[in-house]
């Protein structure tokens, strides 16, 4: 197959790696195009413990990362053939390696970083260190191998600034102002638990299993969101911060006060719906505030909790009142933790020539964050 010559910037090929939490992930991106996005989920390993066990996560990453990278390259090649792209993906054509530096579990991050450094040194490729949350933030910009954003009438634009990012995951709940790609301001974040964590903990109280978010969403379909009155956290607080631990405690007290025999399936559905509606309200109140304060041109959503369709609908309904378009990643595999989003963030860093200067000294940063 033809080698890329002369090389266009938009043809920049990146192998990206994310081992920040409980997914072992590797991807191949060509510019903004996702050629492959392999995610080895560890959920079954952690489920018996009701949450992520860091040492188990580290061991699983060590066991599977090599294989996941091979698979990412193989699938990218299958895709490039299918879409008649003019490249083979191999160590002659991969231009750079990207890896999540943080935030995340220290001993899990370490596995990906060590592997990325080794590959960068072995194949003499530049290394790009990525903030996992910047990956979630830019995940709406991903395009498929045909360079399309499926099922989207309009397209996100890197020229429409400022853009507001709303990131809702198991570890984070953040509002981020994008002044331009690479220039971010943290407007607000959770002061305690993340929204996904609250979903998981309330699901645990209801004995629903792990991870709780998708189970609560499913149950809530048949539930009455007005049956239980729960406090909307930070509703009157003027900042753009969030807090979910009070809501979690309110759920605990409410559940303790109700006799076990009354906790039938309808009860569970009503409780799930009431909790989901209250948490969503807490998020949309702050979103509305952020829109009024910062007048963004568009909104980018990211993070696992964005899978929740009720939350998305409510976000869209707020944004519609302000006439602001909302964008989500085109596939579920780009919403939850994945490496393709790391590749997208890395592509823009490569355009800015922000490479790791001293590869051997790159270290994990479990608390990496946007600056306020
Ligand atoms: O972004 P993510 O995959 O990993 C982190 O970086 O944390 O997010 C995982 C979180 C979990 O807390 C999970 O319960 C939640 O996202 N989640 C959901 C849904 N799907 C996943 N929460 C609510 N509704 C969903 N449908
Ligand atoms: Zn994440």
**Structural domains of the chain in order of their starting residue, each with its CATH number:** 9-152+333-361 (3.30.420.40), 163-328 (3.30.420.40)
Q: Which of 336, 341, 369 to mutate to test the pocket of ligand 1 (most atoms within 8 A of CB)?
A: 336
Q: Which atom of ligand 1 is nearest to the CA of 22?
A: 4
pLDDT band at 83 (very low <50, low <70, confident <90, very high): confident
**Model pTM above 0.85:** yes
Whether the pLDDT of residue 9 is over 90: the answer is no
Q: What is the spatial distance between Cα 347 and Cα 12, in angstroms, rounded to a whole number?
A: 7
Give the pLDDT score at 6.
54
Q: Which two tokens stand for residue 198?
A: 């609250």
| Ligand 1 pocket: which of 170, 210, 248, 328 to mutate (most atoms within 8 A of CB) | 170
Q: What is the pLDDT of residue 10?
A: 87
| Separation CA 240–CA 282 (nearest Å) | 11
> Which percentage of the chain shows pLDDT scores above 90?
90
Question: Does pLDDT of 320 surpass 80?
Answer: yes
Could you tell which of 37, 213, 306 is best to mutate to test the pocket of ligand 1, judged by most ligand atoms within 8 Å of the CB?
A: 213
pLDDT at 3 over 60: no
Atom of ligand 1 nearest to the CA of 132: 6
CA distance linking residue 290 with residue 324, whole number of Å: 12
User: Minimum mean pLDDT among 47-56, 112-121, 212-221, 249-258: which range?
Assistant: 47-56
Angle at 341 between CA 126 and CA 3, to 5 degrees: 50
pLDDT computed for residue 152 by the predictor: 83
On the question of pLDDT at 2 being above 50, the answer is: no
Quick check: 233 pLDDT over 80? yes
Do residues 61 and 25 make contact, with C-beta atoms less than 8 angstroms apart?
no
Taking residues 266-288, report their average pLDDT.
Answer: 98
Separation of 100 CA from ligand 2 center, angstroms?
10
pLDDT tens digits for 106-139? 999 999 999 999 999 999 999 999 999 999 999 9
pLDDT, residue 249, reads 96
Which distant-in-sequence residues (6+ apart) come within 8 Å of 152 by Cβ?
A: 327, 330
Q: What is the mean pLDDT of the chain?
A: 95
Q: How large is the average pLDDT for residues 181-203?
A: 97
Q: Where are the beta strands (DSSP E) in 50-151?
A: 96-102, 127-131
What's the token pair of residue 173? 């709940």
pLDDT score, position 8: 85
Query: Per-residue pLDDT tens for 68-78?
Result: 999 999 999 99
Residue 30: φ, ψ to 5°: -120, 105
Q: Which residues line ligand 1 (CB under 6 A)?
A: 21, 169-171, 196, 199-200, 211-214, 217, 303-305, 307-308, 336-337
Task: Determine the atom of ligand 1 nearest the C-alpha atom of 172.
Answer: 7
152 neighbors 122 (Cβ within 8 angstroms):
no
Residue 41 C-alpha to ligand 1 middle, in angstroms?
A: 13
CB 26 within 8 A of CB 35: no
pLDDT at 144 over 90: yes
Phi-psi region at 15: left, alpha or beta (left = phi > 0; alpha = psi -120 to 50): beta
Asked whether the beta carbons of 69 and 17 are under 8 A apart, the reply is yes
């Amino acid at each position: 197959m033809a080698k890329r010559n002369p090389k266009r910037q938009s043809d920049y090929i990146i192998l990206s790696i994310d081992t920040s939490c409980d997914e072992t992930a590797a991807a191949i991106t060509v510019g903004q195009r996702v050629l492959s996005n392999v995610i080895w989920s560890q959920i079954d390993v952690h489920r018996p413990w009701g949450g992520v066990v860091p040492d188990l996560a580290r061991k699983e990453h060590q066991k599977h990362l090599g294989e996941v990278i091979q698979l990412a390259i193989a699938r990218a090649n299958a895709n490039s053939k299918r879409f008649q792209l003019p490249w083979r993906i191999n160590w002659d054509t991969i231009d750079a390696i990207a890896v999540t530096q943080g935030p995340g579990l220290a001993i899990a991050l370490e596995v990906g970083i060590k592997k990325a450094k080794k590959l960068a040194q072995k194949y003499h490729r530049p290394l790009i260190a990525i903030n996992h949350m910047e990956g979630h933030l830019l995940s709406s910009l991903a395009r498929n191998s045909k360079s399309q954003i499926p099922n989207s009438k309009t397209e996100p634009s890197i020229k429409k600034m400022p853009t507001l990012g709303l990131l809702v995951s198991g570890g984070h709940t953040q509002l981020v102002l994008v002044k331009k790609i690479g220039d971010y301001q943290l407007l607000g974040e959770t002061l305690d638990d993340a929204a996904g964590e609250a979903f998981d903990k309330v699901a645990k109280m209801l004995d629903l299993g792990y991870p709780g978010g998708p189970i609560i969403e499913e149950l809530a379909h048949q539930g009455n969101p007005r049956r239980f009155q729960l406090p909307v956290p930070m509703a009157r607080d003027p900042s753009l911060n969030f807090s979910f631990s009070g809501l979690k405690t309110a759920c605990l007290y409410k559940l303790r006060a109700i006799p076990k025999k009354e906790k039938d399936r309808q009860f569970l559905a009503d409780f799930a719906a009431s909790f989901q509606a209250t948490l969503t309200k807490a998020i949309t109140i702050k979103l509305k505030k952020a829109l009024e304060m910062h007048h963004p041109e568009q909104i980018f959503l990211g993070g696992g909790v964005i899978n929740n369709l009720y939350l998305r609908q409510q976000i869209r309904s707020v944004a519609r009142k302000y006439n602001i378009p909302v964008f989500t990643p085109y596939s579920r595999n780009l919403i939850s933790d994945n490496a393709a989003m790391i590749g997208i963030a890395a592509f823009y860093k490569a355009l800015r020539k922000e490479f790791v200067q001293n590869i051997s000294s790159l270290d994990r940063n479990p608390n990496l964050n946007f600056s306020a």
